[in-house]
Structure 1
Amino acid sequence: MSSEQSPEPSTSDAEPPAPEPPRQRILLLVVVAVLAYAVDLVTKIVATATLEGEEPIRILGGAVYLQLVRNPYAAFGMDFGGTWILAIVAMGVVGAIIWFARRLRSPGWAVGLGLVLAGALGNLTDRIFRAPGPLHGHVVDFISAFEPNGSFFPVFNGADSAITIGAVLIVVLSLMGRDYDGSTTKSRKEQEKEQEQEQEQQQAGEDKA
């Protein structure tokens, strides 16, 4: 007697499970953003309370000078033609990062985007709440590298530093082939190669038939 065997389910028909929401990566982004934003906010409060009207304070052997500068321009004193434009751009950056966060699978990208988000929020807070008025507020800068008065490099703050570090981290990850979804350039190429081989096998089977 021939025993009947139940047909095995076709692996080609089985759909891969949907990836789980990247809650851990979003949490990491939020934690990094909150911590960096808090550092920026606290240091600006201390700077405005202690450096107003004071001469530049030399620290770290002259590597850093602390002095209060109210900056109507962009990061590192760059002028893009209007404080309100910079505020709107910052809002767009914040919104884009929040929307993009749901796609994150890479911890490195989460840290980088968290730093950029914190920096954008830090300077945006100044533009909204500081004088001379909403969307026209001047950003508090207080770090001058190597020379006072921004003679060597424009005076900056913690938010500018967070944006720079986050952007550099993202660029480095991109150059290393690590994408925001956790995949790598090598793995994507291998997947594409496997798909091409499967298509060639299917085509060969159809030709034989």
Structure 2
Amino acid sequence: MMENSSVPPAPQGAAKPAAGSATRRHLVLATSTLAVLALVLDQFTKRIVETSMYEGQVIDVFPPLLRWYFIKNSGAAFSMGEGVTWIFTIIQAAVLLYVAIFLVRKVRVWSWALALGGLMGGVAGNLTDRLFRPPSFGHGHVVDFIALPNFAIFNVADMFIVCSMVVICLLLFTGREFDGSRSGSKNKPGTEPGTDTQEMP
């Protein structure tokens, strides 16, 4: 004899939204943590350079491959645009806000989360210099100190920016979307986000 249960069965997939939201929280936390770590590491190393070296000083670390060379850069990479520091301040602030507000909330995979976190931290590191270092607010000079042969002098923030942009370019080149799917796979029937489809020849 069958017994009737007064408790209706739970709908299938009821736990998926909770699991998905938990994953999103973890990704946002990872992105934010990496951004903060990049910012702190960048500012910490710059503080060490400012307190232990004088501007223009060169210290050999692993000659001739690596030297510390303390300079203050008012422009962009390779000292371009030194007379328009305020433009770089606006650009960096716009990039940071755009990534934080519009892109991070779309991320569903670790690769994009870490790439955006590194980018945010690097941009925030140099933006902090622009805003709060001499000669004035918004016109501050960025501290650079890592020198390689026949290359620009850069800092930790630049390292995070470059590495993150390499990863982002690879993700875009391979068609990886923010949710983990590949470009075009969303229009194919039976394709789940985050899964790849293989077409038979």
The interval holding the TM-score normalised by the smaller chain is: 0.7 to 0.9
Q: 2:155 aligns with which of 150, 154, 157?
A: 157
Shift of 1:76: 4.0
Shift of 1:47: 0.7
- Structure 1 segments (4+ residues) deviating >6 Å: none
What is the RMSD of the two structures over their aligned residues, measured on CA atoms? 2.1
Which amino acid is the alignment partner of residue 38 of structure 1? V
Q: 1:177 aligns with which of 175, 178, 183?
A: 175
Name the CA shift for 1:160/1:31 in 2 (closer, same or farther; >3 Å): same
Shift of 1:176: 2.2
CA contact (8 A) 1:119 1:163 kept: yes
Q: 2:116 aligns with which of 106, 113, 116?
A: 113
1:193 lines up with 2:196 in the alignment: no
SS of the equivalent of 2:21 reads coil
Matches of 1:24 and 1:193, distance apart in 2: 29
Equivalent position of 1:89 in the other structure: 91
Matches of 2:90 and 2:57, distance apart in 1: 33
Which amino acid is the alignment partner of residue 134 of structure 2? A
Equivalent position of 1:42 in the other structure: 44
Q: 2:60 aligns with which of 58, 61, 66?
A: 58
Structure with more helix by fraction: 1
Matches of 1:73 and 1:180, distance apart in 2: 32
Shift of 1:127: 0.8
Equivalent position of 1:166 in the other structure: 164
1:134 lines up with 2:129 in the alignment: no
Which amino acid is the alignment partner of residue 189 of structure 2? E
Matches of 1:67 and 1:80, distance apart in 2: 19
Equivalent position of 2:6 in the other structure: none
Equivalent position of 1:12 in the other structure: none
Which amino acid is the alignment partner of residue 58 of structure 1? D
Matches of 1:61 and 1:154, distance apart in 2: 16
Shift of 1:156: 0.7
Matches of 1:81 and 1:53, distance apart in 2: 20
Q: Give the gaps of 5 or more residues in structure 2.
A: 1-15, 191-201
Shift of 1:77: 2.3
* Rg comparison, structure with higher value: 1
Matches of 2:167 and 2:59, distance apart in 1: 31
Shift of 1:54: 6.0
Matches of 2:94 and 2:174, distance apart in 1: 27
CA contact (8 A) 2:73 2:82 kept: no
Matches of 2:82 and 2:68, distance apart in 1: 25
Matches of 2:73 and 2:56, distance apart in 1: 17
Matches of 2:58 and 2:156, distance apart in 1: 17
Q: What TM-score results when the alignment is normalised by the length of structure 2?
A: 0.78
Equivalent position of 2:30 in the other structure: 28
Q: What TM-score results when the alignment is normalised by the length of structure 1?
A: 0.76
Matches of 1:76 and 1:163, distance apart in 2: 15
